[in-house]
Amino acid sequence: MKPKSLLQKIVLLTLVTLLAACATTPEERRANAVREANRLKQTHGLTCERLGYERDTEKWRDCLLEMEKQRLIQQQMMMDRMNYWSPGFYSPFYYGPRCYRYGARLMCR
Q: What is the average pLDDT across 54-76? A: 92
Q: How far is CA 42 from CA 31, 67, 104, in A?
A: 17, 12, 69
Q: What confidence category does residue 43 fall into, taking pLDDT thresholds of 50, 70 and 90?
A: very high
At 109, the pLDDT band (50, 70, 90 cuts) reads low
* CB contact set of 95 (below 8 Å; sequence gap of 6+): none
In the predicted model, what is the mean pLDDT of the chain? 80
| pLDDT higher than 60, residue 13 | yes
Global pTM value: 0.55
* Phi, psi values for residue 3, rounded to 5°: -60, -35
- What average pLDDT does this structure show over 7-25? 80
Q: pLDDT, tens digit, for every residue of 69-100?
A: 999 888 888 777 766 555 555 555 555 556 66
Residue 16's pLDDT is: 83
Residue 53's nearest CA partner among 69, 39, 67 is 67
Contact 53, 41 (CB under 8 A): no
